[in-house]
Amino acid sequence: LNNGLEALSDNLEIRPIAETEVDSMLALIMRNKEPLSSLAEKCFADAQVIFSERQSADGA
């Protein structure tokens, strides 16, 4: 997260919170109509691989 995202907006500030956990499902949403983003498609494909590997490791 330390890649300058906060520079995109005066209203955005990233504050890391140490020793926390989030107990919720993660969801990915991608536009299925034009215009399509090749970056979003690549990120979505990578995430699908990561999640399927985790499910396999968890025995799901």
User: Whole-prediction pTM value?
Assistant: 0.45
**What pLDDT is recorded for position 15?**
76
**What pLDDT is recorded for position 22?**
77
**What pLDDT is recorded for position 5?**
64
Q: What is the pLDDT of residues 2-53, one digit of tens each?
A: 566 667 777 777 777 888 887 877 777 777 888 888 888 898 889 888 888 8
**What pLDDT is recorded for position 60?**
56
Distance CA(8)–CA(42), nearest Å, equals 22
Q: Exposed, middle or buried, 7 (CB in 10 Å: 0-12/13-18/19+)? A: exposed
**What pLDDT is recorded for position 6?**
64
Distance CA(2)–CA(21), nearest Å, equals 19
